[in-house]
Structure 1
């Protein structure tokens, strides 16, 4: 025994590394009190509810809602009371089975990113749009082709009309026309294009009612032609005429004078084509 020392002074130093270390809640509480803060102060500064602050200081981490939230609250409260949160977090991990494994964010992100690509709604929409475009193009092409075909058939039918109508026409009285005598309008008639039929009607002997139609039956003129007046008609294949007083009319077809002797007051129905001058 040493002189001047009590028996208690000679006791060996106690190991305060583990047993004497305060709990997490106790350490946070002591640091808060030392900082001169109340629970309300800490709750206001950290936005951690008062009930949870009280529970953590009592080492009750159940209200935190899990280890991840408990560790977050410990870190927040430690910083608020000026403590290093690392030792407290390590102590929490040691007492509660270690730090929870982090959630593999990358695989989850890849799964979420790949999932909509497998469904492929954009490819479906693109395919539908392509089908609609192809169907529209085929329909448009067929429609245009049908129009062209029908137009060609119509032209052939119209072109054949003058040929079939010629045998039914009365036989011309004089098939060999005389040489046309020059008249003031002969130059224009002589210059008629060969790919069309051109008919000039002149009321040389008096007024007469006349009617003229093209190969489609469209009316070109229907009215009274006074004495001395003339009308010129042109079509791609045929001109149909009705003369109310054929004896008063002088005709020029494709630049040649028609020498038929029509009777005064007689009504004549005539047809002329590109191959004339002949009374149709």
Structure 2
């Protein structure tokens, strides 16, 4: 009776299914089905086939040595002993990267180069050629040349008025006829200013006033008092801008 038939009969006698046998032996069900048909091609070689046969026989209560001996008789005899070194020797040698010690020569060369560059930078940024010492005594440092004095700034242009507003204040000491217009000729006032009345007008850029009785009014422009612009009964025209008015 072949090994496969023997193992299948023992499994059936034990009342065990292939799935249960696979669970106990940790062998796949498809491999067990193949072994019971005397097909050991799925085992992966004679070495693993002997292991599976021994495991199944022991689980089913058979003599594992007898079953393995029968397997050897049917498959060319027992295998030759193999040295452990041959079994565990790696087929491909692993080349370990050799750790090299730090290249101190290169490191020192880099450090010296950095020091040299730093020294040259200090000399170039200094006052020029280093001063030699005599008997260990260093002469007093030569004072650095002071920066040339900047030329005086050009005189600023005449200050412009803070505002372009023109303010005119007229105080009538006698009844006086007035006509006031802005820089565009737009009329701001036309009429008679009664005696004792003071009026103020404001506009931008320029203001023109015509007075029918120049001796009967007192003028103040941009905060500066100009006084009486003319004689009694005299017709006078004046124009004022933001700049301080000139006395006439």
Higher relative contact order (CA 8 A, sep 6+): 1
Greater share of helix: 1
TM range (shorter): 0.3 to 0.5
